[in-house]
Structure 1
């Protein structure tokens, strides 16, 4: 057993998927044996979704769905008989009405949201006609919210209704029980927002309809966008003062410290610190793709310690309250534009709760859960939010029912700390900003902490990387259902094929539905980098690759992922050769089954893999073949892997189309020969070799010379004949791979020249 395996839990979990010929998910079987099944029409659109619990109980999630010509969902019926209807503007496609009613009582609306916009698409007014008008302290309280913006579309004023006893702290306001007769629990509010020139929130002023309000002022760093709640006598925040050297917030409040790992991931939130070291805290663990896999909360009492652990699996969460406490499985199921959760107990189920029950969440235009309904369309809970996500008021059928609501603002999970977990970052709604910098860089502007450009009513951020407008949300919703779920995984999970270890590049397809079409190179690289590295590490672990070989494999995978359209799925593989070599492959997912078969059954599978469109890299050279003849000076042999950047017509075995003699040699990994090294003239880059980052530059040159890095895998340069560029990861202190590149030109035969080092993204 390896040292890594020794640190893993003994218990294993298995999730399986079945897909049709188009890649649409037909069935998912989670780690507890619950089956989610989907049906599609002849046009490829989802028509019905069901869940078959392990006990054999079958329940409908959603059916009778209809869409318009733009792919926007018009109506759908949930499994509890509630029909959700969406209406859109004929001129610009924006959502104008979102309503829900039971199929047997169309006149009684459970939800009836009306939206109005300004000329640039900012939300000006939302009215819920399904909610009654109330009176409190001689003030009329209506279910109407209004919004005003500055010339940069930043929210500067908002009005709405709230729990009149809300204190504005990070904790949830007091829960209202359905049927309460105290109308003084309700009130109107007005909020005013102010920003500096860098879009940092400097002040939020809260004015209630009755009683006194408050003003929350933010203190912003003098030379950065770091910001904290202003405190008298405190120094301006910055690196080493309230934030670590990577820009991560160090404390939510005095005594509530935050701990981060080397990948800028939050790993611990201290809730209560004690002198004896027995602290109350919440800790988090992540997988190689950067997604959270475990959350564990510990609270020490006078006589016992309470623990609550959540394990995150595909489509399933396992909640454990100590070894003898409540064990609850939460099944996460797609319910069209709304969400559905199934509650399934393994032990200590409360007497009032029904096992294997479904809870249907009716969401607003931001995906925030506003109403929770049971299987008979009975109301379980209701919630409304301030702009930027803090809860304005919430009500529930009972305190017990309220405890089982796990998804709130923007459909995200709210932790005990009050932070919302988005996937790549954590969001503090009472601070109205992220607590760490955007890992995708400046894709949303130079302020890496601002939440959706300070326009929280018109934009959402699904995973903490980039905002999207609501118009994009409604138009790609169907695409996400057919692609994101259709390939069998949500972003962060991957399909693995035994032995060959192919990993479907589903992140590429998810990106198409997730991000804008004007994706920049830096943005795409940041999106793919973690997932590709995680795949390379997993494959390397299986095949016993060294750390250096894993890094080379990750670079190889990443370059081909970036060179391929986001709509195309790729599969990655790593396999040993007959004489001890180790080779990595990447190619089209549609041929992954044939590639897997070849890798298992053929002594030398490279030719078959090449014909299937796979490209290879030699990570570990095989033993030299005694008495072998030298390689040809130019051209491609039948054992060579075709470069992805060229289109070569391969005919019969042992022949290939004619290649110009000036093209560089690119021997495939299965030749059984040690290739001759390349000769690279580095005279033009002598200054860079001896300057900062020279070691990084030298490593890339060495890899090209000994052919562990294929010249063909470089970026083709527009206007440059036989010139490729290669990434210099972390060169001159830049984050990630690809900020700087070295330009290599092929001269003739085995002769090359390093032309220069440049930043291709600089304008």
Structure 2
């Protein structure tokens, strides 16, 4: 028992699939898919029975497993020497395509592609070296515009990437090689190149096992956990959210870049709700630094004025309760209110 796809049935047609080291080694129209020791596609062979020819495409990768070259050869006669028909070289953001004449040596046409990327592919500048360059801006998953805002191509897909609607401009090579989820679709195999794996939208599955093992789920061939509406996978290493997702009223998810190259805004990270605001602790009032006016103490026989008492005309008496933190020789003013409507002021030097 395994989770490898063994066969499919469509309109009474049964298609079976073989595997080599866990990677699909035969698929409809391609009797031979060869893989290297790192589970990277090495070559594919397609047969055209009507033309009695077979095309073999070879793939070359650098030390970081990034694809840098793709060549296609055609065998016209069984056992005859193959003839190179086209080649693509990829160097960082630059791509060069060449189509060869029937001799396999003469370059019939050449095209340069410059890829402009942010978190995702932004635009492709396409030039044949003779006329003006064509700017192909990508807006979303399936819309291409030129430098003047005119539509070059528009395409809609099923959740797993099968094209359901395609509109292309007649005077431009359309659509672009970047298709579903900005994957690079190989015209030779109809497979989507996703950095470390190849995806087949016709089956909705990866053609090789997950390099992370079962870290992303028990099915190591399933695409985005079979939930491509909410999830996507930009590199073949792991799925990430297409949009932020809230699980509860007081929870939020923000995007975090993972080691699989998924853009930061597509990676979920739970942020707990903010704690309730704590009211500030009460602040003790400052020590009094004032002169308090009090009514005179009840008269009693033999009462004498103390150092904090002053007697004024009319029988009004001022009782000084506290004068705090007043340095020596500081001028201060004593004010009072006389309930009998007599007011006065006295100034002293302390």
TM-score by length of 2: 0.62
- 1:321-353 deviation line (CA, Å, top 9, x unaligned): 12422111100002676621111223xx5xxxx
**1:393: Cα distance to partner?**
1.4
Whether 1:250 and 2:33 are equivalent positions in the alignment is: no
Contact 1:229-1:431 within 8 A present in 2 as well: no
**1:471: Cα distance to partner?**
2.6
Equivalent position to 1:460, from 214, 218, 232: 232
Contact 1:466-1:515 within 8 A present in 2 as well: no
**1:358: Cα distance to partner?**
1.2
Equivalent position to 2:158, from 386, 392, 398: 386
Q: 1:233 to 1:341 in 2, by over 3 A?
A: closer
Q: 1:404 to 1:300 in 2, by over 3 A?
A: farther
Per the alignment, residue 410 of structure 1 pairs with: 181
Q: In structure 1, what is the Cα distance between the partners aligned to 2:194 and 2:16?
A: 28
**1:299: Cα distance to partner?**
3.7
Per the alignment, residue 569 of structure 1 pairs with: none
Contact 2:66-2:196 within 8 A present in 1 as well: yes
Whether 1:272 and 2:47 are equivalent positions in the alignment is: yes
Whether 1:448 and 2:225 are equivalent positions in the alignment is: no
**1:290: Cα distance to partner?**
1.2
Whether 1:340 and 2:135 are equivalent positions in the alignment is: no
Q: In structure 1, what is the Cα distance between the partners aligned to 2:40 and 2:119?
A: 31
Q: In structure 1, what is the Cα distance between the partners aligned to 2:30 and 2:149?
A: 43
Q: In structure 2, what is the Cα distance between the partners aligned to 1:327 and 1:356?
A: 13
Per the alignment, residue 526 of structure 1 pairs with: none
Q: 1:418 to 1:338 in 2, by over 3 A?
A: closer
Per the alignment, residue 168 of structure 2 pairs with: 396
Q: In structure 1, what is the Cα distance between the partners aligned to 2:230 and 2:16?
A: 31
**1:510: Cα distance to partner?**
5.2
Contact 1:419-1:428 within 8 A present in 2 as well: yes
Whether 1:294 and 2:69 are equivalent positions in the alignment is: yes
Contact 2:136-2:147 within 8 A present in 1 as well: yes
**1:392: Cα distance to partner?**
0.6
Equivalent position to 1:311, from 77, 85, 89: 89
Q: In structure 1, what is the Cα distance between the partners aligned to 2:195 and 2:94?
A: 16
Per the alignment, residue 432 of structure 1 pairs with: 204
Contact 2:241-2:268 within 8 A present in 1 as well: no
Per the alignment, residue 114 of structure 2 pairs with: 331
Q: 1:335 to 1:359 in 2, by over 3 A?
A: farther
Whether 1:263 and 2:46 are equivalent positions in the alignment is: no
Q: Which has the higher contact order (CA 8 A, sep 6+)?
A: 1
**1:421: Cα distance to partner?**
0.4
Contact 2:94-2:113 within 8 A present in 1 as well: yes
Gaps of 5+ in 2: 101-105, 246-252, 271-350
1:107-256 alignment to 2 at 5 Å?
Answer: 223-230=1-8, 242-244=18-20, 246-253=21-28, 255-256=30-31
Contact 1:426-1:434 within 8 A present in 2 as well: yes
Q: 1:362 to 1:325 in 2, by over 3 A?
A: same
Report the number of matched residues: 248
Higher-Rg structure is: 2
1:280-679 alignment to 2 at 5 Å?
Answer: 280-299=55-74, 305=83, 307-322=85-100, 323-334=106-117, 339-346=122-129, 354-363=131-140, 368=141, 370-398=142-170, 400-403=171-174, 405-415=176-186, 416-471=188-243, 476=255, 513=264
**1:397: Cα distance to partner?**
1.4
Q: 1:515 to 1:286 in 2, by over 3 A?
A: farther
**Coordinate RMSD, CA, aligned:** 3.3
Q: In structure 1, what is the Cα distance between the partners aligned to 2:28 and 2:150?
A: 39
**1:418: Cα distance to partner?**
0.9
Deviates more, 1:333-342 or 1:383-392: 333-342
Q: In structure 1, what is the Cα distance between the partners aligned to 2:115 and 2:108?
A: 22
Q: 1:405 to 1:508 in 2, by over 3 A?
A: closer
Does the residue aligned with 1:453 lie in a helix, a strand or coil?
helix
Does the residue aligned with 1:326 lie in a helix, a strand or coil?
strand
Between Structure 1 and Structure 2, the one with more helix by share is 1
Q: In structure 2, what is the Cα distance between the partners aligned to 1:263 and 1:407?
A: 24
**1:269: Cα distance to partner?**
1.1
TM-score by length of 1: 0.30
Contact 2:235-2:262 within 8 A present in 1 as well: no
Q: In structure 1, what is the Cα distance between the partners aligned to 2:223 and 2:19?
A: 18
Q: In structure 2, what is the Cα distance between the partners aligned to 1:430 and 1:509?
A: 24
Gaps of 5+ in 1: 1-222, 481-506, 519-763
Contact 1:385-1:391 within 8 A present in 2 as well: yes
**1:422: Cα distance to partner?**
0.3
**1:403: Cα distance to partner?**
3.9
Q: In structure 2, what is the Cα distance between the partners aligned to 1:419 and 1:512?
A: 23
